[in-house]
Structure 1
Amino acid sequence: MNSDASQIELFEEWLLHQEKSPNTINTYKSAIQKLSNWLKMRDRSLEKLTHDDVQAYMEDLEEEGKSATTIDKIYATIRVFAQYLNQPEIVANIKRKEKEKNIYQTVPEFLKEEERIKLLREVEKDNDLRNTAIVYMLLYTGVRLSELCKLDRSDIVISGQIGTVTVNNHHGGKKRTVPIPKDALKILKSYLDTFPKNYEGPLFISKQNNRLTTRSIQYMLEKYNINPHKLRHTFCRDLIEKGLDIAVVAQLAGHNDINITKRYIIKGA
């Protein structure tokens, strides 16, 4: 039995001593098992769970589109697990997604034209092709940060001046194909030229040749005072302003609920 499995069993015993109901125990175990799986993908473990791990997990859940209510429930479970570990500090002051009164009436923030020009100038000035390609892909294809991190070279298809990216939509498992506009395609081509001819691995990698994590890209974007959500919102808003049908915008953005897409046409958005 691995260490995480042992921890989960001991956690279950501790919950029994706390006189929790069977349903509550199963819910807690399931949530901690998912956390364990997430940690394993990052060569981490429950035994060495840190404050930074919990914060990164909350941010990944938000990137995956989990609601504020769902994230709060998961956080509450991790807080109980921290009590079991007798390490309350690992869940102290964790930032979480704010609850919205009505998600369908919330006008998303997006970049104005002058803000976009300024951002791209700042990014390009640093002469980092990878980071420039990341910003262009987020801004011009609307991929979620979690989706971007999971892209492989094989997900990009380029034929002359036409390019597409195939995205795995983690909000339902459906794939979607999104055109890559010529401005972004030019940058992406330059970035792809830095790879060996037959390379088919992760699209965005670290200096150690590891797939970039959502956390590392968030840190990079903070340098430019921008977040991936705002870039994605800008992509959606641009499509609406260009007159694309709302159903097409929903498909390109990977929205399972068209009401989410309709936020971009709310008067004053």
Structure 2
Amino acid sequence: MILKWYSHQNRRWADTLNPDRKHAVKYYDILLKEGKKASTIANILFALKHYYDFIGKELNLKPPKQTVKQVDFLTIMEAKTLLYKIDSFRDYAMVLVMLYGGLRVSEVCNLDRKDVDFE
């Protein structure tokens, strides 16, 4: 990806075995300005760092801080209310598995009998 970017910049960096750190820094700044996610930038920097290591150069760029998503949980009362309003035994069992196992709907739907230890 960075090589594509360099060739797009009028081939200012034609010698790929002798890259300059300032080019990597400039590319890093462009990624930030474009609003790329921190995880995307971290992946790109990971690849760049390994490329620089491969050619025997050092690249000390720190990836941006990644924000951790806050997960919303049901309160005990909300969980009890949810279970109380379920009519069928099947749905009740599925919701119990989700609540106690921390599974998503898709994970419960993909369960097979062999995945469950009934003992």
TM class, shorter-chain normalised?
Answer: 0.3 to 0.5
Rg comparison, structure with higher value: 2
TM (norm. structure 2) is: 0.47
TM (norm. structure 1) is: 0.23
Which structure is richer in relative contact order (CA contacts within 8 A, separation 6 or more)?
1
Question: Which is strand-richer, 1 or 2?
Answer: 1
